[in-house]
Structure 1
């Protein structure tokens, strides 16, 4: 399997440190596997439509990617988007981050949840579930809210328009949460009810902490220096002070969220990808009966 120069260029735009050999050895075969699952689902759908005279429609295939903060969810999501869209020639692969479905900071402050941003209670779960439900119901266009990491808040004036994608990649901390009571729907419903293929990114806690601190320091030198940045204050601190703050945020917020809310969802994932140093893929595990479940 080979990648075109155009695809390699797209991958390098995500991150210059992306290993192209690893993309070819790991991500490309996984993309082909996912493509196989999509074909199976569409074959099954065609049989149902033909036998029961159901109106034919292309129901988007939903892939979710979750894991801890700093595990590399966004990068992995974009790699799969490029491979599925470019190499495997799916016409329209959309990528949505659940960050846009966080409550605005003003709401979080009012509810005393600003220090638990990223925890399940900090998301507008109803709006997120409704978004995926509308997508699966073939509504178009569908509007998704956008989040700015510069101001660390939802942007009221900007939206992402989604129009009947072949594949939706849904990336976020809470996509595999289950059993959340939805006051607007008569039964217990979760985003995970509408996901066709789910990926959990796993790594040791020590690695996750080091990746978070490294990312914090990189942002401190880049976007934090923008005076509009929510975290501008941190750019004025020394490296040692910044590391100490990053370590504190990790243990009081992100590590706690990982242990209490994110890690327990790992068992629901179709595929668990375990990373080692430098975000290299060490191994992956897939549910043995998953193929039978999808048939």
Structure 2
């Protein structure tokens, strides 16, 4: 383990963490791993083996312990209560790799011997629609805490933890850059739910009574994907340039106006968006929540995880 000052976390190097895999089997093929990686990420079998298999083993142990606690509690009350999903929060900046992390975890966890049902819900669906953001003057603060309907998100999580069936979450389209009217993700009978989003560890921004609850109050485990700002900015610009040559080409895409930019122009536009919006959000609202997480994955410039910090129990 990494030697450091007194801290609420135990930190591991990449190699130290890899040894904690023990006999956890690799259940993903090289082709499947390639499908799970992000647009500009190079996710390798080695990264899954050294980083995600130990994490899967740890999560499996935590989930088993949670189920045992549920059984003990039922025994105490002398009655059977409904089992509720184990909720994992995945936080971090735009372009840092949260979605890839969530997809890998979903795939690995769903292939555990018990074959749990694992679903991913992104908090993008709880953004206010563009029309509302425009009325509030918040389009340039999309992704900031005030751009989310936190009350709706907390109600959704509360329903999950209450054991309700058919709990629905709104759907967000990165193609249209807006909420999809009438479209929902339905969570029903899930054993594990992964809540992924930049805002999942943030504290409330209103004085309403409901805001006394944090989104993270409903998490059983939380993971923060971290990296140096200079690297995240570079990944954001690289992704923007790739999208310029692909998704933005569709005439119906929200960002179609950027499709014909040169690489140099695209870099300037992406850097401007980063500096005006994403950089500020990272510094003001996202990075300060890092130490509210259970686990911190620190990535290096090549997207490979270099350090893992686990909160002491």
- Normalised to the residue count of structure 2, the TM-score between the two structures is 0.88
Between the aligned partners of 1:131 and 1:227, the Cα distance in structure 2 is 34
1:79-109 residue CA offsets vs partner (Å, 9 max, x unmatched): 0000000245432000010001100000000
Q: 1:2 aligns with which of 25, 48, 69?
A: 25
Q: Match for residue 287 of structure 1?
A: 311
Query: Any gaps of 5 or more consecutive residues in structure 2?
Result: 1-23
Q: Is the 8 A contact 1:101 1:127 kept in 2?
A: yes
Cα contact 2:298–2:305 (8 A) shared by 1: yes
2: distance between equivalents of 1:52 and 1:7?
A: 45
Equivalence for 1:273: 297
Q: CA RMSD in A?
A: 1.5
Tell me how far apart the structure 2 counterparts of residues 75 and 161 of structure 1 sit (CA, whole Å): 21
**Which 4+ runs in 1 deviate beyond 3 A?**
6-9, 87-90, 179-185
Q: Distance in 2 between matches of 1:254 and 1:88?
A: 40
- Flag the 1:199–1:81 CA change in 2: closer, same or farther, 3 A: same
TM-score (ref. length: structure 1): 0.93
Tell me whether 1:57 sits opposite 2:106 in the alignment.
no
Q: 1:142 aligns with which of 167, 173, 192?
A: 167
Aligned to 2:282: 258
1:13 CA drift (Å): 1.5
Cα shift at 1:153:
0.4
1:74-153 pair list within 5 angstroms: 74-153=99-178
Inter-CA distance 44–36: structure 2 relative to 1 (3 Å threshold) = same
Q: By how many angstroms is 1:182 displaced?
A: 6.5
Q: Which residue does 1:293 correspond to in 2? A: none
Task: Give 3-state SS (helix, strand or coil) of 2:190's partner.
Answer: coil
Aligned residues of 1:32 and 1:88 also touching (Cα < 8 A): no
Could you report, residue by residue, the CA deviation over 1:95-138 in whole angstroms, capped at 9, with x for unpaired residues? 01000110000000000000000000000101100001000000
Q: Give CA deviations for 1:25-70 in whole Å, capped at 9, x if unaligned.
A: 1101111101101111111111111111243221100001110110
Match of 1:217 in 2: 241
Counterpart in the other structure of 2:33: 11
1:182–1:49 distance in 2 versus 1, CA, 3 Å: farther
Partner Cα separation in structure 2 for residue 85 and residue 182 of structure 1 = 39
Structure 1: 5+ residue stretches without partners: 291-295
For 1:256 and 1:226, the matched residues in 2 are separated by 30
Distance 2:103 2:125 in 1: 17
